């Protein structure tokens, strides 16, 4: 009996954790790559009778994560998996200040986790599974901020814009292959996560849009992580997944 294989980054909290739970409940085998392990997720996998691996890896080291993933995938029995999917979900936000006040190390880490690691992981995943017979997908979790500018968010906006555009390039490459992967960079909507807390808590003098994010929370317009995860996974399961290399769940 074969199972779908899902590789998921940033699965220890927020929407990533919710996606991992829902995937395990559906019987998928899930490999999570996060900075920390989630004991509750291991318990959920055991109760669901699903296969779960949790790797502790800081994705600011994207090169190391990519090499580890490629080595692991090459050691797998490809007949054991009916499909393989990479979900690049992890992301971090640099300190919310104008670029002129950004800390160099903080900004570099945000770009490594948000853009460099997804590119390196996608490269490793596609290379290692090139001759697998089943369908392959790459789902990059983007953001509306990759498509519109915002003051004091240059690092995050740039990472997500880069994610969108490398996905467009990747879609062209894979479309030219006989069994190319289907790829999509998907904005999941506005979700009630720790990142939203950071945005609401920023100093208004540093972040002119702070008030608009506070109003989203007070007006109840933030999507719970579980609902957002359901919407994203429903998009992933669509028969036309990848037809639009850059998309939004709200479309």
**Residues assigned a catalytic role:** 156
Please report the beta strands in the chain, taking only residues with DSSP state E, as ranges in sequence order: 3-9, 29-34, 52-56, 81-88, 136-141, 182-187, 246-248
β-sheet bridge partners, residue 3: 81
Residues 6+ apart with CB under 8 A from 27: 3, 4, 48, 49, 50
Separation CA 44–CA 241 (nearest Å)? 28
What are the structure tokens assigned to 242, written together?
A: 């990848």
By CB neighbour count within 10 A (0-12 exposed, 13-18 middle, 19+ buried), where does 72 fall? Answer: middle
Return the CA Rg of the chain.
18
What are the structure tokens assigned to 188, written together?
A: 């999941």
β-sheet bridge partners, residue 138: 86, 183
End-to-end CA, the chain: 36
């Amino acid at each position: 009996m074969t199972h779908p294989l899902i590789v998921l980054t940033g699965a220890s909290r927020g929407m990533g954790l919710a996606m991992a739970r829902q995937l395990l409940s559906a019987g998928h085998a899930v490999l999570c790559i996060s900075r920390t392990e989630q004991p509750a997720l291991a318990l959920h996998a055991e109760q669901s009778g699903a296969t779960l691996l949790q790797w502790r890896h800081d994705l600011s080291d994207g090169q190391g994560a990519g090499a580890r993933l490629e080595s692991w995938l090459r050691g797998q029995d490809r007949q054991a998996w009916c499909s393989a999917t990479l979900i690049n979900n992890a992301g971090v936000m640099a300190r919310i200040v104008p670029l002129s006040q950004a800390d160099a190390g903080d900004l570099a880490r945000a770009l490594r986790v948000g853009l460099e690691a997804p590119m390196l992981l996608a490269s490793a995943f596609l290379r290692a599974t090139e001759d697998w017979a089943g369908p392959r997908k790459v789902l990059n979790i983007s953001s509306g901020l990759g498509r519109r500018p915002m003051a004091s968010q240059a690092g995050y906006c740039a990472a997500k814009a880069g994610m969108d555009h490398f996905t467009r390039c990747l879609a062209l490459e894979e479309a030219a292959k006989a069994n190319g992967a289907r790829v999509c960079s998907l904005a999941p909507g506005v979700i009630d996560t720790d990142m939203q807390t950071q945005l609401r808590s920023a100093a208004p003098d540093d972040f002119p849009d702070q008030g608009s994010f506070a109003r989203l929370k007070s007006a109840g317009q933030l999507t719970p992580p579980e609902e957002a995860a359901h919407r994203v996974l429903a998009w992933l399961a669509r028969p036309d997944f990848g037809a639009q290399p850059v998309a939004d769940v709200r479309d």
